[in-house]
Structure 1
Amino acid sequence: MTTIPALIERYIDAYNAMDIGAMLAMMPENIHFRSIVDGATYAQAHGKLEFSQMATFAISAFKWRRQVITHAITVADHTLIEVDYFGEPAMDLPNGWKAGQEIAFKGRSSFRISGQHITQIIDQS
C-alpha cells in the first residue's frame, strides 16, 4: 500500500467520527461527489451545500459507521483507496438494510486533491 495523503486520512477520520464540519473543511465550494452502486449512480452532490445535506442524512441514517482503508495508490492528484466498510443503520433504508442490522462490505473511493482541498470523491460499491 502506498502512503495515503494526510488530507484523505483526515477525511476518513472525520467520516468515521461523523463530523460533517471537519469533512467540509477539507472541500472547496465546488466539491463534486458521486456514489456508484452496482455500476449505476446512486447519489451525487455538486457543491458544499448539497454535500452537507447528503452527509447530514447519512449520519442520521446510521447508528455508527466505519471505513478501514485496506489498499491505496496515488498517481499525481488522484488517490484510489479500497475500504472495508462496516455500519449499523438507525432506520430501515430504501436499499433493504434494516435498522439494527450490522452491515459489512468492500468498496473503493477515488479522491482528487488540489492544493489543500479534496475536489472530487467518487465512491463505488
Structure 2
Amino acid sequence: MVMQEKLTLIQSYIQCYNAFDIDGLLALLSDDIVFENESGGEINARTQGKEDFRNLASQSAALFSERQQTTTNIQMHNDRATVDIDYRATVAADLDNGLKAGQVLELQGQTLFEFNQNKISYIKDIS
C-alpha cells in the first residue's frame, strides 16, 4: 500500500467522522478493526471488529450536535501513521459527567492509524 493510499484513507476517515457518516467509516475499516481511546494515559474504550466499532461510533455520535477533527500534522511510518488533531465539538445534551448541552469542547490530541490490505486495521485516539 503506497503512502498516498494511506493518506486518502485517513482523509476519508476524518471526513466521514466529521459528517457523522458511520457507514462511510465502516467501509474504510478492516473486518477485525481494533479501536482504542486513551485519555490521561488510560484506555477508557476499546472495540474489536466492525460491529463493536459501529456500536461505539453510534453512541459517540449521539453525544454531539456537531464535531470537527482538523489534521494539523501527519507522520507516516511504513504501515502506520501518527496524525495530530485539533478537535472541536458541541455537546448535544446534558451528560452524566457534568458537560452541558451546547457546551463546546476544544481538545488537541493524536490519532494513530495502522493499515492492512488497503483498509484501516487499528485506530487509537489519544487525548
TM-score (ref. length: structure 1): 0.94
How many Å apart are 1:93 and its aligned residue? 2.8
How many Å apart are 1:91 and its aligned residue? 1.7
Match of 2:100 in 1: 98
1:83 to 82, 85, 88: 85
1:48 to 47, 50, 63: 50
Using the alignment, how far apart are the partners of 2:17 and 2:55 within structure 1?
14
- Between the two proteins, what is the percent identity of the paired residues? 33
Match of 2:13 in 1: 11
Q: Is the 8 A contact 2:111 2:124 kept in 1?
A: yes
Using the alignment, how far apart are the partners of 2:111 and 2:91 within structure 1?
21
Match of 1:70 in 2: 72
How many Å apart are 1:97 and its aligned residue? 2.1
Query: Secondary structure of the equivalent of 1:30?
Result: strand
Using the alignment, how far apart are the partners of 2:47 and 2:94 within structure 1?
23
Amino acid at match of 1:76: N
Q: Number of paired residues?
A: 124
Cα deviation code 1:25-64 (max 9, x no counterpart): 0112110000000001111111100100000011111100
Using the alignment, how far apart are the partners of 2:123 and 2:103 within structure 1?
27
Runs ≥4 residues deviating over 4 A:
none
Using the alignment, how far apart are the partners of 1:24 and 1:94 within structure 2?
28
Structure 1 window deviating more from structure 2 (91-100 vs 12-21): it is: 91-100
Cα deviation code 1:52-92 (max 9, x no counterpart): 00000111111000000001100100000001000001122
1:108 to 107, 110, 113: 110
Using the alignment, how far apart are the partners of 1:42 and 1:98 within structure 2?
21
TM-score (ref. length: structure 2): 0.92
Amino acid at match of 1:11: Y
How many Å apart are 1:102 and its aligned residue? 0.9
Gaps of 5+ in 1: none
Amino acid at match of 1:34: E
Using the alignment, how far apart are the partners of 2:53 and 2:115 within structure 1?
17
Using the alignment, how far apart are the partners of 1:63 and 1:123 within structure 2?
20
Query: Secondary structure of the equivalent of 2:31?
Result: coil
